[in-house]
Amino acid sequence: MGSAVPRDRHEAMQPQASLASLCSASVPLRFDTGLLDRQDQFTAWRDFMAATIDVTREGDPAEGFEAVQTVWDLGSLALSHAVLPAGGRMRHWRHLRRDPLDHWCIVVSRGAAADGAFSLSMRSLALPFEGQGNDRAVISLYLPRDLMRREAAALDALSDRMPDTPLVGILIDHLISLDRRLPSISADDLPGLVEATRQLIAACLIPSADRVEAARDVMVVSLVGRARKIVHQNLGATNFGPQQLCRMLGVSRSRLYRLFEPLGGVAHYIHRQRLLAAHAALTDPLNNGQIVKLAEQVGFGDPSAFSRAFRQEFGYSPSYARAAASANAMLPLVRRPAPARGWSGLADVLAGLGA
């Protein structure tokens, strides 16, 4: 860093006020080691984390440690988001027993690789623990024991690394969304948000019939959302279908079919998304790619089969779609998928929205 930046450790903590007043719904505490001399950066970050863990790092301290930590005080919970240096240097840490910190810490981390998957772990700050990692981004939710006293024994019994299950995936999605949306959440909304988060933690980490039933609607919406995302990420894979989606989503085939029944079935949904992606590419005036190549990019290896499917879905050929878009002509409305059995009227329309 250049000599013009602030060098005092207090200047790295912004804005400059007490910790209690900074960690609020509207003004988080932000600690940025990039404002310090390189040789002081890791020591400063280590001191910042010293209330909960002791951290060491491989490599030469003089090489610097540019990290930004943002901490939000949600009243009964605290959430932090750390953006850590790239480069893969391994960090080692151990818990430091600090009364009255008997909190649990739920951690969503992402590997050092640009496309690293998210994972979730949980541990109690009151218990001895040693770990290591080189994660690039870490979201940590600090959960006081008093907030979940009834569930304490069950939470203590959980292992550090959670299995990759749909319920754990739902909790990961919630914490990522919470971190992203906190700047726009008012203080009046925090009590309800904290309670909803508490219930979701219980439903996802220590599920029971009652908890799962209470969170069922949230889980269904989240599962379908995750499934849609996976489908769109794999449109170009010609061998991608219901079987692969089951495996990647972590649900049974029958469960997947029930989720997509309102959308006409999972195979129909994947097929239609491929056609919609092709339609969008063909009607994009900036996209001059060959129709055959565009079809391959969305999973159609047979040009004739693609042309037939496109005409059946939209009522006109791929070449007509491209020519009409080039001439700024009005194309017919895109057809909606056939509704699932038992749906009628408004429900049919709503079920097709975004499909």
Q: What is the chain's pLDDT, residue by residue, as a tens digit (355 residues)?
A: 333 334 555 556 554 333 333 344 557 888 898 888 888 888 888 888 877 778 888 877 678 888 888 888 888 888 889 888 876 677 887 776 655 467 888 999 876 555 567 889 888 877 777 888 788 889 999 888 888 888 888 888 876 767 777 888 889 989 998 898 888 887 778 888 888 898 899 888 887 645 555 555 555 556 777 788 888 889 888 889 898 898 888 778 888 888 788 778 889 889 988 998 998 888 888 888 899 999 999 999 899 999 999 988 888 899 988 888 777 765 654 444 444 444 333 333 333 333 3
Domains in the chain with CATH codes: 9-159 (2.60.40), 242-352 (1.10.10.60)
* Nearest-angstrom CA–CA distance, 299 and 4: 53
Instruction: Determine the angle formed by the axes of helices 242-249 and 253-260, rounding to 10 degrees.
Output: 100
Cα 351 from chain centre: 25
Both tokens of 99, joined, read 């009364």
Residue 173's SS3 state is helix
Strand stretches in the chain, DSSP E: 13-14, 29-32, 53-57, 68-73, 78-83, 91-95, 104-110, 118-124, 130-133, 137-143
Instruction: Report d(CA 281, CA 275) in Å as an integer.
Output: 10
| Contact predicate 271/282, CB 8 Å | no
